[in-house]
With several copies, the nearest count.
Chain A
Amino acid sequence: MLDKVGIAKRIAQELEDGFYVNLGIGIPTLVANYVPKDISIEFQSENGILGMGPFPIEGTEDADLINAGKQTITALDGAVYFDSATSFAMIRGRHVQLTVLGAMEVSEDGDIANWKIPGKMVKGMGGAMDLVASAENIIVAMMHTNKEGESKILKKCTLPLTGLGCVKKIVTNLAVMEVMSVGGLKLLERAPGVTVQEIQAATEASLLVNGEIPEMQLVS
């Protein structure tokens, strides 16, 4: 079974040379720490920066330079700042190749719910609805089950949707799954030490298990 860092490491394997990538808050943010050394990636933050660098060295924080999580950041050489309309032109116009987001629920049709729990304080969708409706490639990073042990990978989402039929791949603490174009999920990989039966037990959605399912290969 993976921890959050393990999920991030596995998602980092999905990065390809030349990708512009938008990382959501939470587990997705950790992906930036595990970019393979031999490829070039640029991170876009929807508040208006391309070429986002690491957090600043203490004492050099700049209130005018933050990421979408409102954290102080730095800019790499070649970075560029832009306004919010241009930022979402990049996202909606599919210039960003990969979006990694967290989710509360994902359905077997690739629906995603990650912004609202009825009865609880709603903070808003931020840029999530634009991101999921637009990106060609959306990977969800999430825990497979909730605190009560119930599956978050469902036949149908029960929470209000963020987007319809948009998730392409799901990476959880237990497995890597693909959303098939005909609907339904296909099990691609098992987390280290996790059996297919354990994954099936934790998954409410239809899950196609075809042949031998390999264990994830994670470099430390």
Chain B
Amino acid sequence: MIDKVVPNVHIALSGIKDGMTLMLGGFGLCGIPENSIAELVKMKTTRLTCISNNAGVDDFGLGLLLKGKQVKKMISSYVGENEEFERQMLSGELEVDLIPQGSLAERCRAAGSGIPGFYTPAGYGTEVAEGKEVKFFKEKAYVLETALEADFAIVKAWKGDAAGNLIYKATAKNFNPVMAMAGKITVAEVEELLPVGVLDPNQIHTPGIFVQRIFQGKTFEKRIEQRTVR
């Protein structure tokens, strides 16, 4: 067994430098690597390119990095709920690359899978396809999309073991498994770090081979963005 455990978030994120590209798992505030984001705020790393489906809210998630002006560019599919984001984007301080959600997910998976490019129907005939190669298969048009790589992928899982194997809970899975595959270095923060041999090898979502560092997260606030009840 190859041991991936690091003692804390500080060591887990060592090596992250100004100007790097980071992938961060999560959908909205669900399944985001809270402990790592808090550490990135402390590290004051700047000029980051962040690949994440969303950009958090003003005072939580990636919004915290935006507030500290640590982000140079966001690559996302939807960046709604964030006033500081809007201000920086409209003022030109922040570059934003918007990508269809399915293409974003597949581009991460492609990077992790050694597939440099693939064809998707998403975005054909729209500005998203501008400058991209178009190819017809069975008389339908598809756009060439390429693998999206990151220096670090930072994901959040429910359970994990020392070998780096990960299990996610419910819809907190979302982008975490595909991003875990795509990082040159993948860091996983988990709610519960278990000894090797406890997790059923049939039930693992992310095989440890994709994970370079794993640590037990200290606190998980798990904030709810839209609390709706019956």
Contact = CB atoms under 8 A, between A and B. Distances in A.
Instruction: Tell whether any CB of A sits under 8 Å from a CB of B in the complex.
Output: yes
Which of B104, B106, B122, B208 has the most C-beta atoms of chain A within 10 angstroms of its own C-beta? B122
Interface stretch (B7-15, B36-44, B62-70, B108-116): B108-116
A165 B3 CA distance: 33
A92 to B, nearest CB: 3
A61 interface: yes
B2 A42 contact: yes
Contacts of A70: 27-30, 81, 225-226
Main secondary structure of the interface of B (DSSP, over half): loop
Contacts of A46: 101-102
A88 B100 CA distance: 10
Given A78-B208, A83-B176, A134-B122, A126 B224 contact: no
A82 B207 contact: yes
A130 B178 contact: no
Interface in A139-190: 160-165
B56 to A, nearest CB: 11
A57 interface: yes
Interface residues of B, number: 79
A124 B78 contact: yes
A61 B100 contact: no
A165 to B, nearest CB: 8
Interface in A36-95: 40-42, 44-51, 54-58, 61-73, 75-95
Nearest to B211: A95
Nearest to A82: B207
A45 B209 CA distance: 13
A42 to B, nearest CB: 6
A121 interface: yes
A133 interface: yes
B222 interface: yes
B106 to A, nearest CB: 6
Given A72-B224, A128-B100, 19 more contacts: A20-B2, A20-B209, A42-B1, A51-B201, A55-B228, A63-B222, A64-B158, A68-B27, A80-B165, A81-B171, A83-B105, A88-B106, A95-B112, A123-B80, A126-B77, A127-B101, A130-B100, A130-B103, A163-B126
Interface of B: 1-3, 27-31, 53, 76-81, 86, 89-90, 96, 98, 100-106, 108-109, 111-115, 120-128, 158, 161-163, 165, 168-178, 181, 196-197, 201-202, 204-205, 207-210, 222-230
